[in-house]
Structure formats: structure tokens, C-alpha cells
Amino acid sequence: MVSERRIAANRRNARKSTGPRSSIGKRRTSRNAYSHGLTASATPKAKYTKRIEKLARKIAGNTTDVVILECARDAAHAEFDLAQIRRVKIALIERMSAFGELEALEVLQLEAPERIKAWRTVVNFVDRLMRGRPITPEQELGLIEADAILDRVRTLVGLDLVLGVHKYMKFMKSVIQGTAILPEQAEAAATMPSAQSERLAEAVRRALPELLKLDMSDAPQPPASDRFGPLEVE
Amino acid sequence: MSKQRRAQVALLPISPLLITESVDDFDRVRDAFDQEIRPRGIIDQMYVGDIAYLTWEILRLRRCKAGVINSAFRDALEKLLAQLLRQPGGYAHQIKDQADSLARAWFSDRAAKKQVSELLAVFKLDESAIEAEAVRSSAADLEQLDRLLASLESRRIKALRCIADYRGGFARQLRESSDRIIDGKVLALDNATSKKPSAAA
């Protein structure tokens, strides 16, 4: 039995706790009630509850033994879980086959003044560094921001640093000033083969990391003696 | 498939297929296992369904494996040709265009195919060198595909073993139950014979 004193102390302590304060903490705790997508039982299984129960009854036979029924329910649930994972796999391959990617790349939408400002920040930073002048924390922050913008420009252009620093700086400047002709960013779907069998092979190849992750969820079944051991013939 | 079996299969979740895959072909694979294993109850049906689906996935991945190698063929040929065409002291970029156009032509032009064969023969190579390069360049993808295939195959073997285990246990239980029934019947028959007069009496 919990004492009155302990209850009062618990209430006092609870009042002190106001939950997460940071936005990250709030976001994290807002999902506390959810479980992992593939093992979450609420939404997808609710649709199948009746069918799972029907299958469990069939597995258990005419028994009224609660333990046997529970084991049969487990087996029926596992059967539907497996089917769900298989559906997810199929959906991933289909999506990859249609779009050539699972997440669309962010399209670069930068206004010219923004690009020029980013470029100037970088040039000033390098200049100060070369002349041995001190860099303020604000300038450093500005550089991080500028670098992120320039990184998006680099991604769009598909530029690597093999060019050498001078050529690279010259080219980037022309890109930012709008004098360089940018190559068209290829649509991922356009890089997929058109022939059906080749397209499937390419879709599976691109989805391999996700398929391997799903393969871990698609755990091997326990031996029959474990799954159906307690069942008895009536 | 008998009515009873159809009713049992209807209880199980539907096996999802790709839109490009044939439901009839999948049913044929399932029926083949059905014929071979002859499932007796719902548990057998679950195993048969699982084995049929695993087999289907294995076939799909094997097709993909061949597809991955085939689609790496052109790049492989281009790389190989760049090596074959390069003169001593020359640079790769000098023969890049030539290698590219020859690799492109190899798929449709007989003369180009012959030219490639002759180039390969100079270095005592044949067309298997192209395949080897295609396999080598897609080794990372093939390794991942192999991991998936190995996982599916081990699961299929386990499911087959599970049927044998389950049936062994099931047969043992049946035997024990029937033994008990027989023992009971024999006893009941003994009692019955002692009470009822025989036909000969």
C-alpha cells in the first residue's frame, strides 16, 4: 500500500515536470504513442481482425483451450504480418519502377541575388583567411549558410572538385552570374530502362538497400514444433 | 483444387504480386506445390502458401540478377574496348569516342561484333571477358541480391523442414490417439463379447 505521504510527494514532483521544452523534444515525444510502422498493430491489422480470428479458429480446430487458441492467434497474426511486409516490398519495387527513385531530389530554386550573396560571403571569407585577418563568429555562421547554398548549386551542376581550385572558382562564378550554361538535371524516371524485364531489374537494384532492411523484419519462422507444438488432435 | 481447400486458402492473406507478374503463373507454381505436398489442413496450407511465395520471390530475384548483369554489359564492353584500343603510351581519352561507338554498335551491327571479337582475340580473350567485366562492375549489387536470395532460400528450406516436423508430430499424435482408441475399443469389445452371446452359441 502506498502511503499518503508518498502520493503527495509524487504529485508535487509531477507538477514540477512540464514535459519536453525544446522543439526537438516535443516532436520526439509527440510520437511516443506510435510504434514502428511494420510492427504497429493498430491501423493495418484492425482491417484484418476478423480474418485473423477466423484463421486462428481454423488453426486451433475445435478446441476450447485458451492457451491453444492464443498460440493459434499468434500464428495467424504472424501470417498477416508476413503478408504486410510482402505488400510493402511490392509497393517499393513498383514505386521505384515508376519514378526511378524513392525520394525526389530537391529542385534548386534560388534567386540570383541569393546566389551572388552566398558567393560574396565565400570570397570575403577566403580573402580574410588569406590575408591573416581574424574571422568573427558571425562571419563563420554566414559562411556555413553560404556553403549550404553553394552546395546546392554544386549538386545541380554535378560539379566535382577535380577541376582544381582556380578553374572551380572561375566556373562557380560564371554559374552564379548566370553566364555558364547549366546542364539539364536528369529526371530519375527518365534513367529507367523502357523494356519491362530490364526496368524491373533496375527497380529492384535501386531498391536493394530498402529491400534488405525489410528482409530483416521478414524474420524466419520458428520451427513447427514451436509454432504448433501444443496443438492436439481431438 | 477441392472446395474445402479453396475455402482454406480463402482464409489466408492474398499473396501480393507485381503488376507486371502473372497471377496465373503464380497459381501454377502454387498448384505444383499443392500437388507435391498435398496439404491436409490449414497449417499445411499456410506452409504451402509460404513456400510457393518464397519460390516466386527467388525466381523474381534470379531474373533481376540476370537483368543487372545485362544492363551493365554496355559499360563493361566500353571499358574493355578502351583497354584493347589503347596504344602503348597513348591516353584513354584519345580512344574514348571510338570505344563508345563500337560498344554501341556491338549490340546491333554484325561487323562491329566481328571487330570486337578480333580485338579480343589479339589478347587471347573472348566474349566471356565482357561478361566478366559486367559481373565485376555490378559486384556490389550482385552481392546484395545474393544476400536476399540466400535469405529466401534458407527460409524456404526451413519451411519445408517445418512441414516435415509438423507432419511428423501430427502423425505421432494421430498414432497415439488411434492407439488409445484402439485400446479402448478392444476393451469395449471384450466387455461386449462377454455379455452378448456369440453367433456360434
- The full DSSP string for A2-29 is --HHHHHHHHHHHHH-----SHHHHHHH
Residue A156: pLDDT over 80:
no
- B137-191: per-residue pLDDT in tens? 999 999 999 999 999 999 999 888 888 888 888 777 767 766 776 666 554 555 5
Average pLDDT over residues A203-212: 92
With b meaning 16 or more CB within 10 Å and e meaning fewer, what string describes B134-163? beebbeebbebbeebbebbeebbebbbebb
Q: Which of A99-103, A114-118, B58-62, B104-108 has the lowest mean pLDDT?
A: A114-118
Q: A residues 81-110 near B, CB within 8 Å?
A: 82-83, 86-87, 90, 93-94
Give residue limits of the domains in chain A.
Answer: 36-101+189-234, 112-177
| Residues of chain A contacting residue B145, judged by C-beta atoms under 8 Å apart | 204-205, 208
Q: State the nearest Cα–Cα gap between B147 and chain A, in angstroms.
A: 8
The average confidence (pLDDT) of chain B is 85
Average pLDDT over residues B46-72: 93
Q: State the nearest Cα–Cα gap between B68 and chain A, in angstroms.
A: 6
Residue A114: pLDDT over 70:
no
Are B16 and A87 a contacting pair at CB < 8 A? yes
Task: Extract the C-alpha cell encoding A234.
Answer: 481431438
A190-197 contacts, C-beta under 8 A, 24 or more apart: A190/A100, A191/A100, A192/A97, A192/A100, A193/B71, A196/B20, A197/B63, A197/B67
Considering only residues A181 and B50, tell me which one the structure prediction assigns the higher pLDDT. B50
pLDDT bracket for residue A220 (50, 70, 90): low
Please tell me the predicted confidence (pLDDT) of residue A14: 63
Residue B65: pLDDT over 90:
yes
Task: Extract the C-alpha cell encoding A30.
Answer: 509527440
Residue B24: pLDDT over 90:
yes
Comparing CB atoms, the residue among A201, A208, A229 nearest residue B71 is A201
| Residues of chain A contacting residue B60, judged by C-beta atoms under 8 Å apart | 200, 204
| Residues of chain B contacting residue A93, judged by C-beta atoms under 8 Å apart | 18
pLDDT bracket for residue A143 (50, 70, 90): confident
Considering only residues B73 and B88, tell me which one the structure prediction assigns the higher pLDDT. B73
pLDDT bracket for residue A112 (50, 70, 90): low
Considering only residues A42 and A28, tell me which one the structure prediction assigns the higher pLDDT. A28
pTM: 0.64
Average pLDDT over residues A177-185: 56
Residue B57: pLDDT over 70:
yes
Residue A116: pLDDT over 80:
no
The average confidence (pLDDT) of chain A is 70
Q: What percent of chain A has pLDDT over 90?
A: 12
Residue A182: pLDDT over 70:
no
Please tell me the predicted confidence (pLDDT) of residue A213: 87
